[in-house]
Structure 1
Amino acid sequence: MACGRARFSRLVEYEVRTVGGVKIGFIGLTLEETPTVVTSSGVAGLRFLDEITTVNNLVPELKKQGVSAIVVLLHQGGRTAATVVNDKTCPGLNGDIVGIVDKLDPAVDVVISGHTHQEYVCTRNGKLLTQTGSYGRIATKVDLTIDPVTRTVLKKDANNIVAVNDVGILSGGTLPDGVVPLAKDSEIDAFVQNYEKLAAPMAGEVVGKISEPLDTTRSPAGESTLGDVIADAYLFGTSDASFDKPAQIAFTNSGGLRSDLKELDVTLGELYNVLPFSNSVVLMDLTGIQLLRLLEQQWEKPQYSGNGRVLQVSDGFTYTWAKSKPAGAAPGEGERVVTGSMKLNGAPIEMDKIYRVAVNDYLAAGGSNFTVLLEGANLQQGGIDLDIATAYFKAKGIVAKPALNRIKSVK
């Protein structure tokens, strides 16, 4: 990352630490695609550089400082088909991290990855590649055997260790083989409990009910029950007469939904877990052709992966996409949306007609490469997503589980 911001001026490209009498160099990076996965205002004025070039350019400098090993910490990751923790065979390793690791300088010994919230310990192209899942549930212990005279790594190994404090939270209340419970840090535990106590009255407020649990599990077409409900909440909160032009359609991104609603009584705390980012909801004008281009961007380069980028849509808006059409088309050249399938309340979307659309500010700023939304006109703020969702649940009383029939896919 390169920048001109004063508040980032104290960030360093790398750090050298002496461990056991030998020097180890640590290079820290975020992913080059950071501007596409965060709100644009948060990274204005920053440039995010190619990970491979950045690391490889720093290796000679670290070698001059006499490091015996180089560790890269990179917020980019991959996935495997492993079904157990610490499967070092790394079956089916894939993802963006693979191409990066394969092109790193041979002097790099360890790559500690992230971003994809997966767990793995792999050996790739002579390098140790690890990731610890997410939310502190796993810790990685890396062991390097280094010759202090030749300053070479003789052996490298890593193990992912499951972090369990309370056996009772596990299915069946029993520990997996080889897992040892970890004692809680008393000071941190007391700190957390204090704030949980302070927040409990507000977090525990029941704001509504659901007929069945709602989650982010996607249908083959890419639709989820929770995604539908949050999109409906966006529409509910932006379609009344208080707006100059009320919304007709709402979209939200699945990546912004960070938890499921499992209990039938929905509390404010549970809603906060779903929508923790305090995103604003923004209204804008889009033409029918812009709506079509928006949907096509779900599968276009530079970002596309299965149905994981399919936007969740509000009730009344429907469309069909064709699996037979290839994903990964060049920007502006996608053709997966079936011609004439986009409809609003049963009426075909007209390409030259203007529609009022509600999205969160992350999407409105072109997040996740949905750049069509940067063309939206007549923008108006619609409130904070959590406040809107809370009002929706309070107004509805009981929210029914959607039927997952808004987005369809055909062969």
Structure 2
Amino acid sequence: MNYKHLCFFFCLILLSSCKQEVHLNKIEGQQINISDSLEIDQTIEDFVKPYREHVNKNLDSVLAYAVDTYTKSDGDYNTAIGNMMADAVYEQSNPIFKNRTGEDIDFVLLNHGGIRAIISKGNVTTRTAYEVMPFDNSTVVVKLKGAQVKELIDYLVKAKRAHPISKLNIVLDSDGNFKSAGLNGQALDFDKTYNVATNDYLYNGGDRMDFFKTNDSLYILDYKVRNVLIDYFKKIDTLNPVIDNRFIQLKN
């Protein structure tokens, strides 16, 4: 067999091998249960222990005292814990926003689902803030025109859910229909532009709050909502939020 024939022979072998198909018949695996019965590597445990103790010490530091237990299911249209969170965002964020822009935040809107734990009666710690807000959501302020604020109000009226709000008042009639919306005792003017504080999750369309997408300006405060809570807890000492009339339905 000469050189040309030898090359042709090897090419045929290569081409035939490329046409072979491999079929996967099954995948086998083994479940390994992780439990405290697994042996501990003492070297790793000794290395991690001081860091764990330091973190736990910080998380368990007492910041305030809660006079009662608060949960996001304790009200229909507004809850004590939701009111506290929205008020905390306003109180802690407005000075930052005003210092940078010379303007005030008009109102706050957060989301009911963002409250991830209860606040139990007794000591309120840094760990409490991490449990209530485990996500790294940050506070932002969005300039919304009146048309978008109207969409925001329509969203809340339709949802009929205790999404936390602050400085904003919404009233439904006895049939659950929109009756009025106000700000600082004055009716909303849908020809104006308002500064609305929220979190970056909602700004990006979370919970289908698409009205935030059409805005005039966005101000990023670099202030995580969790840190808002921590700073707020430190400042107020005693936590005693209440359900009020910021979002209500009339009985008759």
What code does the residue aligned with 2:107 have? Answer: I
- Work out the CA distance in 2 between the residues paired with 1:376 and 1:205: 40
User: 1:16 and 1:293 mapped to 2: Cα distance?
Assistant: 53
2:108 matched residue in structure 1: 250
By how many angstroms is 1:276 displaced?
0.6
Hey, what does 2:36 align to over in structure 1? 185
* Contact 1:238-1:246 within 8 A present in 2 as well: no
- CA distance in structure 2 between the partners assigned to 1:242 and 1:264 by the alignment: 35
CA contact (8 A) 1:204 1:268 kept: yes
Aligned match for 2:230, one of 377, 383, 390: 390
Q: Does 1:324 align with 2:191?
A: no
Q: Residue 178 of structure 2: which of 337, 344, 348 is its match?
A: 337
- Superposed CA RMSD: 2.8
The aligned residue for residue 273 of structure 1 is 131
- The answer to whether the 8 A contact 1:363-1:373 is kept is yes
Instruction: Kindly provide the CA deviation profile for residues 265-308 of structure 1, in whole angstroms up to 9, marking residues without a partner as x.
Output: 210001110011010110011234422211322465xxx6xx44
Q: For 1:278 and 1:342, locate their aligned partners in 2 and report how far apart those are by CA, in whole Å.
A: 31
Q: Which has the higher contact order (CA 8 A, sep 6+)?
A: 2
Which of the pair is proportionally richer in helix?
2
Distance 1:352 1:188 in 2: 67
Does the 8 A contact of 2:202 with 2:212 survive in 1? yes
Q: TM-score, normalised by structure 1?
A: 0.47
Q: In structure 2, what is the equivalent of residue 32 of structure 1?
A: none
1:312 aligned to 164, 180, 187, which one? 164
Give the Å deviation of 1:235: 0.5
The CA deviation at 1:372 is 0.3
In the TM superposition, what is the alpha-carbon distance from 1:196 to its structure 2 partner?
5.1
Structure 2, unaligned runs of 5 or more: 1-24
How far 1:322 sits from its partner (Å)?
4.3
Q: Deviations over 1:10-55 (max 9, x none)?
A: xxxxx96459xxxxxxxxxxxxxxxxxxxxxxxxxxxxxxxxxxxx
Measure, in 1, the Cα distance between the counterparts of 2:74 and 2:178: 18
Answer with 358-367 or 258-267: which moved more.
258-267
Determine which structure has the larger strand proportion and give its number: 1
Within 5 Å, which residues of 2 pair with 1:21-32? none
Matched length = 213
Give the letter for the 1:348 counterpart: A
TM-score using structure 2 length: 0.74
Residues 1:324 and 1:374: Cα distance change in structure 2 (over 3 Å): same
The equivalent of 1:201 in structure 2 is 57
Residue 66 of structure 2 corresponds to residue 210 of structure 1: yes
Q: Kindly name which structure, 1 or 2, has the bigger radius of gyration based on alpha carbons.
A: 2
